[in-house]
Structure 1
Amino acid sequence: MLIDAERIPQEHKMESAAAQIYAIQAGLELGKKRGKKLMFAKSTMAVLTAAVLIAGLLFFNPTQLMPQQASTSIKSSDWGVLESFKKVASSDIDALTLESAIRNDYVQIVNKSTEKNGYKITLNAVIADENKIIMLYTGTTSDGQEIYSVNSVWLTDAVTGQSIIDENGYRKGMGSHAEDSIYTWLGKTIYPLDKNKAFPKEVVANFQIASVDPGMLAKPKTGTNLAEMRYSDRLKVSFAIDPKFWEQKTETVVLNQPFMIDGHEVNLAQVEISPLSIVVKYTLSEDLKTNWEIRNELFGKTPSELTSQVGKHEVENNSIGGRGSEDGFTSYFSSNVLDHPKSIRLKLDAGPDRDKNAYIDILKK
């Protein structure tokens, strides 16, 4: 169940409005230097999804399963103390990244808790690289309160108190109830980072849990009335980031490989490869940069199939989103770089430009 937005008490309405505006602005951060907003298909859908989730989570009942964007098979490897999070990962389009990190022990186990007035949060683990930080956490309640969600997650610098987030990104989260328990919530939140900025060594994870009175969670209209919701105080967990996460730098592969989409030339400029993400960047000719109609059509048709060769097996690296940029487009894929793939390649579908499928090698060892 997705929790890409946060529900907050009545007294925090202004903060909620600001969050909505920020999420929308982040999604529309396209062609900023040209003073134009590029409304592309994938970006538009991402913005609309964020806005609907922020404004409409009031009407979401977490006992009802939301449609999954993609099905991902979680391997049967032992996740150790994080085994319970397999349920969350099974409905995560970016599950490959989490699976790879845990399998390769690229994880910092934190297991620190804060409890107040019947609400408890435990920060179980942190996974990070230069581009993002992933937090896995558990929320629990007592006194019969049924968890609706961990509805708010912040990450701040312990020294300055400032939010830690890439100015052009916004946090994404998901979660679900633990097996057979409406009093335990397992969550995952991702914060995008700016790899050009130094990340603070000491950080504070700041949570809030939303709950309802006994028996309310099963009712179909629960969540449509703000007065029925109960909220914890802010629950803060301080921790130091393991320096091992900054040792493996992002590898940039410059390709400048042109290919055709509907008769228009698109250039696969470069690919950024890191433990938690694979970022593919495309550029366009000067003429196409300002032709918004064609740009929109091309963006919706950018390649979305990336595969890697691990041992004797070919693995699909799921597409997890995309956005426009001043020079072209950027697409994001899940990463299994920690598995040391022998090759990574991008698929170009057959169509008006090609009689059969073609591939561009991004990495080959």
Structure 2
Amino acid sequence: MSSQEELAMLSDAGRIPQEQKIENAAAQIYAIQAGLELGKKRGRRLIFTKSAMSVLAAAVMIAGLLFFNPTQLLPQQGTSSVETFDWGVLEPFKTLAAADIDALTLESAIRNDYVQIVNKSAESNGYKITLNAVLADENKIMLLYTGTTSDGQEVYSVNSVKLTDAETGRDVMEENGNRGGMGAHAEGTIYTWLGKTVFSLDRNKPRPTDVVADFQIASVDPGMLSKPKTGTVLSDMRYSDRLKVNFSIDPKFWELKTETLVVDHPFIIDGQEVKLAEVELSPLSIALKFTINEELKTDWIVRNELFQKLPYELTAQVGKHDIKINPNSGSGSDDGFISYFSSNVLDHPKSLRLKLNAGADREKEEYIDILKK
């Protein structure tokens, strides 16, 4: 990665969502860097930001595109309320998942054997990357990986992750898609980094089969990681060569199709009608699609206000347990908004319910029953 790229990342970092707050300083930077990929989104889809309220009107009129930080609106902690269990060879990633808003998805997938163990490595000049596992569905691909260093180099992050088709060399991610991720040092060491990166897919396109995961590890010299200015001085950073791992995606991931539920349930936010139109259920994500009235589609101020007040308390019943589903991101669409949540679809929930809070628009709490068996 060039110095110019790093500078661009730092300058844009303030308007890109982090997946979570991570206490480790290097992990915080990584979360920002991974989130920067969202800035590459193009087209008419809108993503709004609560932090941008002071410049909202001008920014929307000029750019028509804003970014929102779900952690400003939503619960910070990502731990699942499902009882934890042995993750086997992926046990080291359980600590990482404790800070991940998508922890429920990971736990559900691993518990239901919806994971492909890869354990293939690439190394060069003291840097080594191991692709531990892959999870996928029609909408996304998730990589779990480990980066290590030798010669005393302290891992700063796995600062770049790409995924391409082995035959064509093209990015497997949808054209206007995004990639996001998180990472942190393995427990008790500054020489090992555990990471997760998620790539969005267009499910209307052919599924990737043979792919190349392409990584780069960032490190600093011995003793530098604890320095307060580390990460702000580009000349302090060291980078690995591109480390590439070839693998084939297990076709079992493409067998489970996304289920679309037509809901068409209207409700009121600030006196304006919003409708929960559809819900998409897939192994790695749940997407709620909201629509708004035609006259509001170009009223950017109102749209932003409505977006920030969308309901996000989603609960699934699994057996006798009520499980809170963590929201992880959201965006605008031509018709309104899309809110994305973690998923425990593989656990075959008996019900899925969205909570509408009491307030100016309703005297008491109400619910939209999305799924009821």
TM-score of the alignment, normalized to the shorter chain, above 0.5:
yes
User: Quick one: distance in 1 between partners of 2:219 and 2:289?
Assistant: 42
Q: What SS is found at the alignment partner of 2:196?
A: strand
Instruction: Tell me the residue number matched to 1:69.
Output: 76
| Aligned match for 2:309, one of 282, 301, 306 | 301
Task: Give the whole-Å Cα distance in 2 for the aligned partners of 1:13 and 1:318.
Answer: 31
Partner Cα distance (1:197, 1:126) in 2: 20
* Displacement after TM superposition at 1:40 (Å): 3.1
Query: Which residues in structure 2 correspond to 1:1-365 (within 5 Å)?
Result: 8-10=1-3, 23-26=38-41, 29-30=43-44, 40-41=48-49, 47=67, 69-73=76-80, 75-365=83-373
What is the TM-score with the length of structure 2 in the denominator? 0.84
Deviations along 1:27-79, one digit per CA (max 9) or x if unpaired, are x7445xxxxxx5733596973769xxxxxxxxxxxxxxxxx932424743000
Q: Compared with structure 1, are the counterparts of its residues 288 and 15 closer, same or farther at alpha carbon in structure 2 (3 Å cutoff)?
A: closer
Looking at structure 1, the residues matched to 122 and 168 of structure 2 have their Cα atoms a distance apart, in angstroms, of 21
Corresponding residue for 1:64? none
- Where does the alignment leave 5 or more consecutive residues of structure 2 unmatched? 14-35, 54-65
How far has the Cα of 1:163 moved from its partner?
Answer: 1.0
SS at 1:218 equivalent: coil
Aligned-residue offset at 1:25: 4.7
In the alignment of these two chains, the number of paired residues is 334
Pairwise CA distance, 1:256: 1.0
For 1:13 and 1:177, how far apart are their aligned partners in 2? 21
Give per-residue Cα distances to partners, 1:256-286, cap 9 Å, x unaligned: 1111112211111100000000000011121
CA distance in 2 between counterparts of 1:48 and 1:264 reads: 21
Return closer, same or farther for 1:226/1:14 CA change in 2, 3 Å cut-off.
closer
Q: Please tell me the root mean square deviation across aligned C-alpha atoms, in Å.
A: 2.5
Identity %: 66
Inter-partner Cα distance in structure 1 for 2:277 and 2:43 = 20
Cα distance in 2 for residues equivalent to 1:39 and 1:249? 26
Matched-pair contact (CA < 8 Å) for 2:78–2:326:
no
Q: Say if 2:141 and 2:201, in contact at 8 Å, map to a contact too.
A: yes
Partner in structure 1 of residue 25 of structure 2:
none
Cα distance change, pair 320–297 in 1 and its aligned pair in 2 (3 A)? same
Query: In 2 relative to 1, CA 14–292 (structure 1 residues): closer, same or farther, beyond 3 Å?
Result: closer
Once the two structures are TM-superposed, the CA of residue 321 in structure 1 deviates from its matched residue by 1.4
Secondary structure of the 1:322 match is strand
Residue pair 1:253, 1:272 contacting (<8 A) in 2 also = yes
Give the TM-score, by structure 1 length. 0.85
Letter paired with 1:69: Q
- Aligned partners of 1:217, 1:39: CA distance in 2, in Å? 34
Question: How far has the Cα of 1:238 moved from its partner?
Answer: 0.3
State the secondary structure of the residue aligned to 1:165.
coil
